[in-house]
Structure formats: C-alpha cells, structure tokens
Amino acid sequence: MTATQQMKATARPEVGKGAARAVRRTGRVPGVIYGDKKPPLPISLDAAEINQRIYAGHFLTTVYELDVDGERHRVIPRAFQLDPMKDKPVHVDFQRLGVGATVRVHVPVRFVNHDASPGLKRGGTLNIVRHTVEFYCPAESIPEFITADLTGMEIAHSLHISSVKLPEGVRPVIRDRDFTIATIVSSSGYLEEQAAAKAKAEAEAAAAAAGAAAPAEGAPAAAPAEGAAPAEGAAPAAAPEAKGKKE
C-alpha cells in the first residue's frame, strides 16, 4: 500500500490565465484543491519538487498531506498538465479526501513467475493487454500494484481479472465481464517448429501407408482372376495339353 506523503503549498489569491502565468514566472506551479463539499482552493507549488514527484512515478495513486500555509489538507492528485515543449508541469489538480473516502484510480499490474509458465518456456510471448487496471480503492489503502501470477499458463491461455488476488476493499471498476489482463501467444519460431513437426508426421504416415500397400519382397504375384485379360506385355498363357491324339 502506498504511504501518505507530505508536501507544502501556498494559497494564491488570484485565479485566471494571467495569474497562472505570473505564478509560473516565479518558479512555481499553479494548482487547485477541490471536493469534499468545500469550495475550490487555488494553490501554488514548488516547480522543481512537483516535477520530481510526477516523474518518480505513482503520482496519481499517492495520497498527500498538503500543508497550505499551515493548514493541512488530505488530498490525492487527480490530473496534471505538462508543457508540450518542455515536458514540465504547468498545472496540478488535487481532490480532497474525507474520512473513509473511496477513490477511483489506475493501478499498475506486476507479472510474476515467468519461469513457471510452460508456454513461455516453449517460446511463447507474454502479450500484456492491460498494463494498469482501474479500481475503486479505500483512500487509506491504495495498492502500489496488483500481482498477476503466470504459473501454469500455456500458449493460447489468457489471464483474467478473476484470477488475480486483490487486496481487501479493492474492486475493479469494470464489473460486467471477466476482462483479460494478458495472454500467452505463439512466437514465429514456435509456429515454424509446429508446422515442421506436423509436416514430418504427415510424411511418415504416408510412407507407412505406402509400405503396407506394396507386396513383400520375394512373394509370388497374385494369379489373375479367371477370364481376366493378361497384363500388358505379359507372356501368353500356355495352351492346355490335349487329352487325346486324333487318329
């Protein structure tokens, strides 16, 4: 579970695009705190600190105790905007969290036990369908990640959300279907190997069938049926010996 972190901010009396640009010129990032049935609170944050926290990861799933001029607010970041040219934060939105609050967050998926997957051992490839899954979580216990176990997975098998053990109180936003998180797919080398094995088996079966149909070496040829024409190129059959001489 992610731990609550501390961060400082300053209230800003003015809002609007001009006021936001003025804040950025001082080396700070404008933001706002909203929610919990209270009026929005415009704030500013240290640009270097907020930039570091965003790029450290898990920013949108971390609960912060935000000290705004000595007044503490329990919040979670909900969105941030980056400058398209410099990739620096230009605005951050925070949501207030009341007691017992439940939040909707995207949680990363961590895949484990790759060596215990027969499909991967035979050359299959892990195809990740969802790198993150959206959950409803208690604000006090947002998981850093969920663990997906690949043990026993064969090629063409799929791993669904129902196969993942979730922390208490954590439930997926999607409830109407057992959605797929990952699959084991065949690699091109594995497919070629399977095709070659199939062709070899078919050739061996055909050879065995042909051998069974041919007569054994040294065995006499079967006599033609009575009244049947002799085979082309065969010597004519000897005439039967006369029973008596003509006088």
Domain 5-98 in CATH: superfamily? Ribosomal Protein L25; Chain P (2.40.240.10)
**pLDDT tens per residue across span 108-152:** 999 999 999 999 998 899 999 999 999 999 998 899 999 999 999
Domain 104-189 in CATH: superfamily? Ribosomal protein L25, C-terminal domain (2.170.120.20)
Cα gap 16→35, rounded to integer Å? 20
Summarize the confidence of residues 29-39 as an average pLDDT: 93
Q: How far is CA 30 from CA 45, 80, 97, 169, in A?
A: 6, 10, 20, 34
Which range among 45-54, 95-104, 222-231 shows the weakest confidence by mean pLDDT?
222-231
Domains of the chain, by residue range, sit at 5-98, 104-189
Predicted confidence (pLDDT) at residue 99 exceeds the cutoff of 90: no
**Residue with the larger pLDDT of the pair 72 and 99:** 72
